[in-house]
Amino acid sequence: MININLLPAEYRKTEATPIARFIAIVVGAVVVTASIVAYGYVHYSELRGAREVRAATEETYTNKKAQADVSKSLQTEVNNYEIRRKAIQQIASNRVLQSRKMDEFLDIIWSRGDRSSYFVWVKSLSVRPGRAPRRGKAQTGGVFTFAGFSESTEFSRITNLRDAIKSDPFYEDFKGISPPVFKAVKWDDELEPKSAGRFSFSLTFRPMGWRAGAKKKK
């Protein structure tokens, strides 16, 4: 059956919205509203917090990186210092400090003023440096040579000097000392002394770097 409403529009009964459509509209409105709220929460709360954490993390990273760079720079300086220290130690182990040897030698000659065993004065002294090995030949540390006079013509006084040299720490850097070249001399002038014993010695240095080798053997 077909119903036709001939009443004017203003007198017609308003038709209700279908329940399914109404529910769909309400659900859509709720979803949109929830999305807007979620977006606002994330954008203005969580995102802001994340940005703050990121900024703090980047600042911490920048500070730590600066400290790391300083630490690396200091470590580089320490490494360079260690290289220089080892180089200096290597050089020191391969040479003899002549100023120290001269101090030790003069202490032996002076003998603390004790003239009971020997009394000598040095006329000449020379040090010949060592040579690098060639064709398998052993390295030499050089030669320490000195000559002078003894106040006595007794040969035993010179052997006393030789014994004093061999028993002193001064002799540690040497591997041998020559027998003394000795000759009694007399003068006919009016000066003192009238006679003396002229002598000379040669001492051979140990090979350069022998101390470092001795430490490794221990």
- Do 68 and 113 have their domain in common? no
Q: What is the pLDDT of residues 125-156, one digit of tens each?
A: 999 877 665 665 556 678 999 999 999 999 99
Whether 9 maps to a domain, the answer reads: no
pLDDT at 95: 60
CATH number at residue 104: 3.30.70
Does the pLDDT value for residue 3 go beyond 60? Answer: yes
Longest dimension (CA), the chain: 175
Band of pLDDT at residue 124, cut at 50, 70 and 90: very high
Same domain? For 52 and 75 the reply is: yes
Distance CA(3)–CA(1), nearest Å, equals: 7
Q: Do 150 and 125 sit in the same domain of this protein?
A: yes
Tokens of 116: 């009971």
Are 146 and 71 members of one domain? no
Contact 179, 157 (CB under 8 A): no
In a domain, 5, yes or no: no
Same structural domain, 170 and 146: yes
Query: How many domains are contained in the chain?
Result: 2
List Cβ neighbours of 102 (8 Å cut-off, separation of 6 or more): none
- Structural domain that includes position 52: 17-93
My answer on whether omega of the bond before 129 falls inside 30° of 0, hence cis, is no
Closest C-alpha to 196, from 117, 107, 113, 121: 121
* pLDDT score at 32: 75
Q: How many CA atoms lie less than 13 Å away from 169 in the CB half-sphere?
A: 6
Are 171 and 177 contacting, i.e. CB atoms less than 8 angstroms apart? yes
Q: Let me know if residue 12 belongs to a domain.
A: no
**Domain assignment present for 24:** yes
Helix (H) or strand (E) holding 129: strand 120-131
> Quick one: DSSP state of residue 135?
T
| Residues 74 and 104 both lie in one domain | no
Q: How many residues does the chain have?
A: 218
Distance between CA 165 and CA 30 in Å, rounded? 110
106 and 122 in a single domain? The answer is yes
